[in-house]
Amino acid sequence: MSRARRVAIVDSGGANIGSVTAALERVGATARLTADPGDILAADRVVLPGVGAAAAAMRRLRESGLEQVLHDVQAPLLGVCLGMQLLLERSEEDGGVPMLGLLPGEVRAIPPSPGVRVPHMGWNTLEDLADDPLLRGVAAGERAYFVHSYAAPTGPTTIASTTHGTTVSAVVRAGLRWGAQFHPERSGAVGARLLRNFVEEVGR
């Protein structure tokens, strides 16, 4: 890179923001937590992190005026964990939560089944990886760290999946919008590779 990419980390109130910032800086980005629309729209890359409940996260985005800002982002955008789910149209959490609608699809509860713990917390393999710049250098069968009770079923936007009782989307993409259900900032070399690809490779 000729200069460090400026990454705007959207202040969505998630507790993982500090670790996301540090992980992006380790791969050479200049990362800044912000709720300022000008900062977000001027950034080279935008990351939407998130943990917790979909309804509370969407309420925070709406009340801060960031829902429309995220629709206006033209740079590559990456949603992480709950941030990935927020990119979709709807979650069945709390009886139904309208979300950003930047990617098609609905987030659903992981169905309980014998031997399957919910919430899903731990390392899981990545499967069915598509040829995508975000996944360059990541091999099928490598493991990433997940913490979630809801997930997006696989569909046309799925570029990697994982199986926890049922097969769900691990990484999704539509245009310049990507989402990772797992936590790249907690996923060792695999997570670092994905973040480096987001900073250096996507959108070329």
Single out the catalytic residue among 93, 120, 164, 185: 185
Looking at the DSSP bridge assignments, the partners of residue 31 are 7
Residue 25 falls in the annotated catalytic set: no
CB contact at 8 A, 191 and 182: yes
Single out the catalytic residue among 81, 120, 142, 148: 81
For residues 51-80, one letter each, b for 16 or more C-beta atoms within 10 angstroms of the residue's C-beta and e for the rest, the string is beebbebbebbeebebbebbeebebbbbbb
Residue 183 falls in the annotated catalytic set: yes
CB contact at 8 A, 190 and 126: yes
Residue 63 falls in the annotated catalytic set: no
CA distance 179 to 68: 18
Look-up: residue for tokens 């005026």?
A: 65
Single out the catalytic residue among 120, 148, 164, 183: 183
Enzyme catalytic residues: 81, 183, 185
